[in-house]
């Protein structure tokens, strides 16, 4: 379960339907071209929180079929509807996903006991392993060290997708829990996570820039940190331009330019500004995507 995982993009048509063939193409792009070690399915990058339960199941099924055992699969099932999270967790487990993941429950100001019970309920009902998805900038939920101590008492909670800029806590987690999986969640800070000893990374830009991200990891592991920084600089130049144009819209448009049917984003997200397609074509050329 170590290595680089793409947070899988999901293509939609104008009516918000999943484009099945396009999704299969994106799965293959990640595995065959970007050479990722795994896929993180139905996360933020898959626009998960705007999907119906049946659409989420369809994404799990299509991704699993197309992967066909090639790489590891993590199913993000988190929801503030616990019944839905358990239903999705059971479904993904039946499909053979290697682990579940779940975002911390958000919107309502849940107590820590409520958050802990949520994770325990999912793991108990599904029998599968769990990777906590900690992303306080979007959920408003920060997990303290003492709280991680409690969560990790559940042996089924095998790690965390750590999308947080608090690298002091990351170092403390790594030191205290050498046997738990820790994944870096910020693509633009990948090198700092690798130097801190993470087991892998999960990110949206790996759908188009996975090879470069793997290079950062490999260089760091070989002790060539200065060279890894040079690759991170190039990566962050790309990320800056992608963010300027619109994150998910631009990632999809890069794939569209490359002949992969990545569709558009699901409403209420805007579609890509077609007037900027030339800038995306230039990105593809300039960064050898």
Q: Are 224 and 273 in contact (CB under 8 A)?
A: no
Instruction: Write the CB contacts of 89 (distance below 8 Å, at least 6 apart in sequence).
Output: 75, 77, 100, 102, 122, 125, 126, 128
Distance, CA of 44 to CA of 135 (rounded, Å): 10
The verdict on whether residue 44 carries a ligand-binding annotation is: yes
* Residue 84 assigned ligand-binding role: no
**Count of CB atoms situated within 10 Å of the CB of 287:** 17
Q: Is 133 a catalytic residue?
A: yes
Tell whether residue 45 is among the known ligand binding residues: yes
Active-site pick, 56, 116, 161, 214: 161
CA–CA dist 61, 64 (Å, integer): 5
Measured between alpha carbons, how far is residue 1 from residues 37, 127, 194 in Å?
Answer: 8, 17, 15
Burial class (CB within 10 angstroms; exposed 0-12, middle 13-18, buried 19+) of 211: middle
Q: What number of other Cβ atoms are within 10 A of residue 148's Cβ?
A: 20
Active-site hit among 40, 97, 119, 133: 133
6 appears as a binding residue in the annotation: no
Q: Say whether 204 counts as a known binding-site residue.
A: yes
Whether 156 is catalytic: no
The H-assigned helical ranges of 129-224 are 136-139, 145-151, 167-176, 190-195, 206-221
202 is in an annotated binding site: yes
Residue 265, both tokens = 């984003």
144 is in an annotated binding site: no
End-to-end CA distance of the chain, in Å? Answer: 26
Cβ neighbours of residue 44 closer than 8 Å, sequence gap 6 or more: 7, 135, 138, 204
Binding positions for pyruvate: 202
Binding positions: 44-45, 163, 185, 187-188, 202, 204
Binding positions for aceneuramate: 44-45, 163, 185, 187-188, 204
Q: What residues are labeled active site?
A: 133, 161
């Amino acid at each position: 379960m170590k290595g680089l995982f793409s947070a899988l993009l999901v293509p939609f048509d104008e009516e918000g339907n999943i484009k099945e063939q396009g999704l299969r193409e994106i799965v293959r792009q990640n595995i065959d071209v970007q050479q990722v070690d795994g896929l993180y399915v139905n996360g933020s990058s898959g626009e998960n929180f705007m999907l119906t339960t049946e659409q989420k199941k369809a994404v799990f099924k299509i991704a699993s079929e197309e992967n066909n055992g090639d790489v590891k699969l993590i199913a993000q099932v988190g929801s503030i509807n616990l019944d839905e999270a358990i239903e999705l967790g059971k479904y993904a487990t039946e499909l053979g996903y290697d682990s579940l993941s779940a975002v911390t429950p958000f919107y309502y100001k849940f107590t820590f006991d409520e958050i802990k019970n949520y994770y325990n309920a999912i793991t108990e009902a599904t029998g599968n392993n769990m990777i906590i998805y900690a992303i306080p900038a979007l959920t408003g939920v920060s997990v303290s060290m003492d709280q991680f101590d409690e969560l990790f008492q559940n042996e089924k909670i095998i790690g965390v997708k750590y999308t947080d800029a608090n690298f002091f806590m990351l170092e403390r987690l790594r030191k205290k829990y050498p046997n738990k999986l820790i994944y870096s969640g910020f693509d633009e800070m990948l090198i700092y996570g690798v130097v801190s000893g993470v087991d892998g990374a999960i990110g949206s830009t790996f759908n188009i820039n996975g090879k470069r991200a793997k290079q950062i990891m490999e260089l760091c592991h070989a002790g060539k940190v200065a060279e890894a920084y040079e690759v991170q600089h190039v990566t962050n130049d790309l990320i800056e331009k992608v963010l300027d144009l619109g994150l998910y819209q631009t990632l999809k448009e890069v794939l569209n330019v490359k002949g992969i049917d990545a569709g558009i984003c699901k409403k209420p997200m805007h579609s890509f500004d077609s007037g900027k397609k030339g800038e995306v074509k230039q990105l593809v050329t300039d960064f050898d995507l």
